[in-house]
Amino acid sequence: MKKMPVGYQLYSAREMVAKDLKAVLVSLKEMGYDGVEFAGFFDYTAAEIAAMLEEVGLKAVSSHVPLASIEKDMMGTILFHKAIGCDTIVVPYLEEERRPGKPAFAKVMQSIYTFGQMCKAEGMKLLYHNHDFEFVDFSGMYGLDFLYDAIPADLLQTEIDVCWVKYSGVNPAEYIRKYTGRAPIVHLKDFVGRKGEGTPYGLIGQAKKADAVAFEFRPFGHGCQDAAAVVEAGIDAGAEWFIIEQDQWYQRTPMEAAQMSMDTLKKIGLK
């Protein structure tokens, strides 16, 4: 299998990052990670983040920025990310009232289109990260496909999260290949459980208490995903980076889970 760079979504270790970002970066580097994806900056300045990344030897692969934050200051968002050496910004999530099928979704697409134009002009890339709620019928197609059909590929690319694709009942490997040439980053995330069992967003503070026995996030390769098939699909689709993410870690620490995911990638020959 082709060797590829692997990053880590820092949201997966958010409590540790809030206490000591540099220590987390050092641990990830020692495990063999090549970069990180941010989800907030915990009051660090751009200069502080850039210095830590350079010292540790990790790349700022990408960054999850809420669409509402982007809309408040589009150019400021771009300039901050340029200052930390990050050329890829990702829309990570949509609140319920802004999702496909809701009246506000038209404004969402307008904002993404405008920001995508600005990113392109500044030599940046804009991606969209899916959950499962985009896999609902919207004008005869999945809402996610509608978004990618409505906005040109040079303004918006994909960050396909394979957990939510599979949870929605769609084959992750097939879906990644559908966006060949438009899938620079693939989120590798594993779980156990099926749609309708528990409420997964409850595990990340987005719904009522979940049935954690029915649904649990797992280190990549330790759940229901066909790890090798998903990774192979990403390579075939032209992925430049794979990002490990695990929203909750349960009976282990985030760093133990991160190591288990990396061990899976080594086992299948990606690293």
Structure tokens belonging to residue 97 = 């009232």
Least confident of 47-51, 106-110, 138-142, 242-246: 138-142
Number of domains in the chain: 1
Q: Positive or negative CA dihedral for 26, 32, 35, 38?
A: negative
State the Cα–Cα distance between residues 215 and 196, nearest whole angstrom: 9
Nearest to 112 by CA among 87, 147, 140: 147
Q: Is 208 inside any structural domain?
A: no
- Whether 73 maps to a domain, the answer reads yes
Q: Is 100 a member of any domain? A: yes
Residue percentage of the chain with pLDDT more than 70? 93
Q: Would residue 160 count as lying in a domain?
A: yes
- Asked if residue 176 belongs to a domain, the reply is yes
Phi and psi torsions of 158, nearest 5°: -100, 150
Contact 142, 102 (CB under 8 A): no
> Which pLDDT band, with edges at 50, 70 and 90, does 197 fall under?
low
Strand partners for 218: 190
Would you say residue 214 lies in a domain?
A: no
What is the structure's pLDDT at 208?
47
In angstroms, how far apart are the furthest CA atoms of the chain?
50
Q: What is the CATH number of the domain that holds 257?
A: 3.20.20.150
Range of the domain at 172: 6-190+225-267
* Token duo for residue 71: 């809309």
